[in-house]
Copies of this chain bind each other. A is one copy, B any other.
Amino acid sequence: MRKKVVFYHAGCKVCVSAEQQLAVALDPAKFDVEVVNFADAPGRIDEAEKAGVVSVPAFVIGGTPFHINFGASMADLKGGA
């Protein structure tokens, strides 16, 4: 079974770079990658925070958050929502 991976981002420049270079790089034989843009799905911010995401872009793989560079903090995203 493929492992579920969620890539959270907010459409920022750093996010797009990470998506184009890393999110698409994961082995499709092993991973099922869901891309979540908070601009389209603000209702998923809570789920991301519960998984430990503090900034975007970030992956959550097997429950562990991996923050990629720094685009925006979750606090900034909530402040702007």
Is there an interface contact between A69 and B66, defined as CB atoms closer than 8 Å? yes
Q: Chain B residues near A18: list those with CB within 8 A.
A: 66
List residues of chain A with CB under 8 Å of any chain B CB: 5, 17-18, 21-22, 25-31, 59, 61-62, 64-69
10 residue pairs from A and B, CB less than 8 Å apart: A21-B61, A21-B64, A25-B27, A25-B30, A25-B31, A27-B28, A65-B69, A66-B69, A67-B68, A67-B69
Q: How far is the CA of A76 from the CA of B18 in the complex (A)?
A: 26
Q: Chain B residues near A68: list those with CB within 8 A.
A: 66-68
Across the interface, A61 reaches (CB within 8 A) one of B22, B27, B28, B30, namely B22
Q: Chain B residues near A65: list those with CB within 8 A.
A: 69
